[in-house]
């Protein structure tokens, strides 16, 4: 099987690619290597993938219509797509809103246009986000909850992608599954994510900021569990005219201060904590109902933070030694 994977140099993308390659699939990886964070980290991820048979990389921006649509002819053997390329980061959307619309809305549309031109396409799995639930107070979050009150532009662009996918399923019969990711962490993570920023500050003796004394709760999900869920869903195509939207999380809501305590233990150093009120872009709690994805592909997250954080910390320390 040949899989087209966008965002291949990204955090989740690298892990999904490795899971596909490990079972013998061919992976065509796409990424534009944008400088939102350290391009050296992205290239290091790619180096891991390019060392494995079956992987090929193409430097393409998913919002580049001409380059992407050319793939319909040059990569006609593609039977499945995993679309993970996006502009991430809730707070950065306040700084550069145009980048989010370009990558997350236009990029999503271009991928759908490519998909409907691929004659052998069996399934498209794409990344949405738990951010679409906005200020929802009903827990756990379920796929039937209303999602029409986003509290960030990032969330609005991800919800836009879901709606565009709905229309393309109706118009063109594209088999699609959208996955709402919940706070993914683990080795090879991003420098703008809390585990990385907390670890760097702790090791350097700088203070870390915890909103509302660390009482915010997140459904922290280990990246290898996420990758297994993505691949499991990819193998079970959705009905052509009825796209699926599924939560993919750990089904555990953990206080951020507990997450920090486990991280302190893994790093062997205490954090200096500064308490700050919660910003408007952050919700008090996220908690995934995963019954739907469990029914679709048997998804079962297996990694609590007590196991996942030490694995992240081990990788992070080794990465820092590389300079």
Task: Label residue 227 exposed, middle or buried (CB < 10 Å: 0-12, 13-18, 19+).
Answer: buried
Map tokens 């088999």 to a residue.
Answer: 175
**Per-residue burial over 148-167, b = 16 or more CB atoms within 10 Å of its CB, e = otherwise:** eebbbbbbbbbbbbbeebee
Q: What is the pTM of this model?
A: 0.96
**Which tens digits make up the pLDDT trace of 153-198?**
999 999 999 999 999 999 999 999 999 999 999 999 999 999 999 9
- Measured CA to CA, the distance from residue 223 to residue 205 in angstroms comes to 27
Residue 250 CA, chain-centre distance (Å), reads 14
Q: What is the pLDDT of residue 135?
A: 79
* C-alpha closest to that of 275 among 249, 247, 256: 256
The structural domains of the chain, ordered by start, are 2-321 (3.40.50.720)
Beta strands at 176-181 and 184-185: parallel, antiparallel or unpaired: unpaired
Q: What are the residue numbers of the active site? A: 154
Q: pLDDT tens per residue, the chain (323 residues)?
A: 999 999 999 999 999 999 999 999 999 999 999 999 999 999 999 999 999 999 999 999 999 999 999 999 999 999 999 999 999 988 888 899 999 999 999 999 999 999 999 999 999 999 999 999 997 888 999 999 999 999 899 999 999 999 999 999 999 999 999 999 999 999 999 999 999 999 999 999 999 999 998 999 999 999 999 999 999 999 999 988 889 999 999 999 999 999 999 999 999 999 999 999 988 777 788 999 999 999 999 999 999 999 999 999 999 999 999 86
Map tokens 């992070």 to a residue.
Answer: 316
- Measured CA to CA, the distance from residue 101 to residue 153 in angstroms comes to 9
Element (H, E) at 221: strand 221-222
| Encoded tokens for 301 | 């997250």
Percentages helix, strand, coil for the chain (3-state, rounded to 5) are 45, 20, 35
| Encoded tokens for 33 | 């290597």
């Amino acid at each position: 099987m040949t899989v087209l994977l966008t965002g291949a140099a990204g955090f989740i993308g690298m892990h999904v690619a490795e899971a596909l390659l490990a079972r013998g699939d061919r992976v065509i990886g796409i990424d534009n290597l944008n400088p939102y964070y350290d391009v050296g980290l992205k290239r290091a991820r790619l180096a891991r993938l390019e060392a494995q048979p079956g992987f090929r990389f193409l430097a393409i921006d998913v919002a580049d219509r001409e380059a992407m649509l050319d793939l319909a002819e040059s990569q006609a053997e593609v039977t499945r797509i995993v679309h993970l390329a996006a502009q991430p980061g809730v707070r950065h959307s306040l700084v550069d809103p145009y980048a989010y619309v370009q990558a997350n809305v236009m990029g999503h549309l271009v991928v759908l246009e490519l998909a409907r031109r691929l004659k052998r396409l069996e399934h498209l799995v794409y990344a949405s986000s738990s951010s679409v639930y906005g200020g929802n107070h009903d827990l756990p979050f379920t796929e039937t909850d209303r999602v029409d009150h986003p509290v960030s532009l990032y969330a609005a662009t991800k919800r836009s992608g879901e709606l565009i996918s709905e229309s393309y399923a109706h118009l063109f019969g594209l088999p699609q599954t959208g996955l709402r990711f919940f706070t993914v962490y683990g080795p090879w993570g991003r420098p703008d994510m809390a585990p990385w920023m907390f670890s760097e500050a702790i090791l350097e003796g700088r203070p870390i900021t915890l909103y509302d004394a660390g009482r915010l709760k997140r459904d922290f999900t280990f990246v290898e569990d996420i990758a297994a869920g993505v691949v499991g869903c990819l193998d079970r195509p959705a009905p052509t005219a009825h796209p699926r939207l599924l939560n993919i999380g750990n089904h555990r809501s953990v206080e951020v201060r507990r997450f920090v305590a486990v991280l302190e233990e893994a790093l062997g150093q205490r954090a200096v904590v500064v308490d700050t009120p919660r910003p408007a872009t952050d919700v008090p709690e996220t908690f995934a109902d995963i019954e739907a994805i469990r029914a679709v592909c048997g998804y079962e997250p297996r990694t609590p933070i007590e196991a996942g954080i030490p694995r992240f910390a081990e990788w992070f320390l080794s990465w820092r030694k590389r300079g």
